[in-house]
Chains A and B, each alone.
Chain A
């Protein structure tokens, strides 16, 4: 029950969270705008993934308060998750190859 005694003070008041909310909405609007811009697919992917990562990071850091917890918690949770997700990117070497070799899946 007193394990939270050392929880550090977060941002004061709701106004800060509302600011985060507005930024998230703006970033979402940017994403929608980009979707209709007919950019090359790989550029689109990089931009959308990048924006999504920023939005996710903001939710984790502020709404989920991770920025204001002990740094060791973030170091425990985040690198392991990212490492596993990044390793799965190796799968793509085969999906792209399937297309390049003309081995359509139909």
Chain B
């Protein structure tokens, strides 16, 4: 049933020996993928706890959090979070989530594990570089967490680290000396890890495809990882020098981002000549492609799982879906200024940036409409991964719609830096992208660990999370319209006081939703050891990862070299008694 062709020797490597080489410094893309995944898991747990601290404080600003004073005596005296420490916690939350969760798990986690298998390869093109990329990222993570334990705590400048706050140093507030430098070092390491990973993904996708695996026959996830890798290669290349320049402003006394004449804490800053806008331009030039790096794997995973859920290919097929992803990727380099509409930049630029920002909604909408068209009228198999994939559509639409408003400078003047924006980016990044990761986890867990996760726990997790995230983030849009500014630690103004009950509601919803995530965690770890044994293709899907054992052997295909005869999503075919046929099945001449 599985055909094979002549082997290629260029990328062959033998099984590892010894504990260190097998489990720690493994060159196996599957081990590295799991390492990235669990690193992200650690990051998301810490990030979630930080969000609980933040939400607790917003709802009950004068209440003490018992024990917090041991983490930071200055930041939380008596357990009550100071306004500065609030910003520190927020900064760490954002940095962890955006970099170490959203940029890591969907791409480096799942991508590393499944890209080689989906294209019929033994491993990535550069296994040693792959291992190095993970450990560089890991060092970045450790450095970032260490900011919690330095004297001043994490920086208060947000994950966006705007100058001059991020560049001046401790005169401007706590955490901006050692904390900011450590942040810069951490992100610098992360950039390097991402760049090396990106070039690995690109070379692998282009060079290591099995016989018959044309680009057109690649699954949507492979396309998504490939396009994301191209984005990462181009975008992180700009963040890295920005971090170097920021570090020099701290350590070298330079003034790249600090203008003259600044008086901070009654001290005239010994800097002049720099531009704070320059940091924003450099940061968002990276930052906008970055958010697409966070979501495109999710688009791929959702599309991939929807085919197995709806038992048919996505409406429009590969051409349309991939065409949309490529358009989104291309346009993502032209829209960064929409984060800067009220920054004081050239007002004409605002017009120039808002046009492609609105245009980028078109391919995103096409993808969404095609998903809806696929699901409509289909006999859906509503297992947990399918639920999360369909849930992704809902939350992606919700998050995306608020983007239409923010894309227009006239509206953004009012909405910028309010909870409207917080609601928007959490729905798309903090919910949709996470749903993509959940869907991927439930879908691929059987392949990775040889066991099934509990469907019951999965469904409870889905419904509580789905309802919970709407309870958390929908009200934020109304808060924003009411004028509630973000990154405030307490609401003492008259017009904000009536909104505090809304914040309380959101906080309670956040705790309930958080509890459901603990359920997910339990399901994940319990199923690894006690889950029902999984067969080779439990979801009856069509792509190559479902033609190998669960979990796959060291070289994925056990020495054979798969040959691909078909497109990736051939369902409802007449030639088999099942409603699907595997991508490497040669029963009939290929149709696509």
Q: Interface residues, chain A, CB within 8 Å of chain B?
A: 1, 3, 80, 83-84, 87-88, 90-91, 93-95, 97-98, 104-106
Contact = CB atoms under 8 A, between A and B. Distances in A.
B334 interface: yes
B274 A105 contact: yes
Interface stretch (B343-351, B385-393, B423-431, B487-495): B343-351
A88 B273 contact: no
A106 B260 contact: yes
A84 B234 contact: yes
B177 to A, nearest CB: 24
B349 A106 contact: no
Contacts of A88: 238, 285
Interface stretch (B275-283, B460-468, B515-523): B275-283
Interface in B256-284: 259-261, 272-275, 277-278, 281-282
Given A87-B334, A106-B261, A93 B346 contact: yes
A95 B274 CA distance: 10
Interface size, B (range) = 20 to 34
Most buried by A among B273, B274, B346: B346
Question: Is the contact region of chain A dominated by helix, strand, or loop, or is it mixed?
Answer: helix
Contacts of A105: 259-260, 272-275
B56 interface: no
A91 B230 CA distance: 22
Contacts of B238: 84, 88
Contacts of A84: 234, 237-238, 333
Nearest to B274: A105
B10 interface: yes
Contacts of B345: 93-94
Query: 3 tightest CB-CB pairs across the interface, nearest first?
Result: A106-B260, A93-B346, A106-B272
A98 B346 CA distance: 9
Nearest to A106: B260
Given A80-B230, A84-B234, A106-B261, A95 B333 contact: no
Contact of A91 (B259, B273, B278, B352): B278
B5 interface: no
Contact of B234 (A80, A95, A98): A80
A4 to B, nearest CB: 11
B409 interface: no
A104 B260 CA distance: 8
Contact of B281 (A1, A83, A94, A104): A94
B275 A3 contact: no
A1 B282 CA distance: 41
10 contacts: A1-B9, A1-B10, A80-B234, A87-B334, A88-B285, A94-B345, A95-B278, A105-B272, A105-B274, A105-B275
Given A1-B10, A80-B234, A105-B259, A90 B275 contact: no
A96 B109 CA distance: 43
B352 A98 contact: no
A2 B348 CA distance: 54
Contacts of B348: 93
A98 B259 CA distance: 11
A88 to B, nearest CB: 7
Nearest to B255: A105
Given A1-B9, A90-B337, A91-B282, 19 more contacts: A3-B207, A80-B230, A84-B234, A90-B349, A90-B352, A91-B278, A91-B281, A93-B346, A94-B281, A95-B275, A97-B346, A98-B275, A98-B277, A105-B274, A105-B275, A106-B259, A106-B260, A106-B261, A106-B272
Interface in B228-262: 230, 234, 237-238, 259-261
B205 to A, nearest CB: 12
Nearest to A97: B346
Contacts of B261: 106
Nearest to A84: B234
Nearest to B289: A84
Nearest to A87: B333
Interface string B330-348: 0001100100000001101
B64 to A, nearest CB: 45
A3 B208 CA distance: 12
A74 B273 CA distance: 39
Nearest to A86: B333
A104 B259 CA distance: 9
Contacts of B273: 105-106
Contacts of A1: 9-10
Contact of B10 (A3, A87, A104, A106): A3
Contacts of A106: 259-261, 272-273
Contacts of A87: 285, 333-334
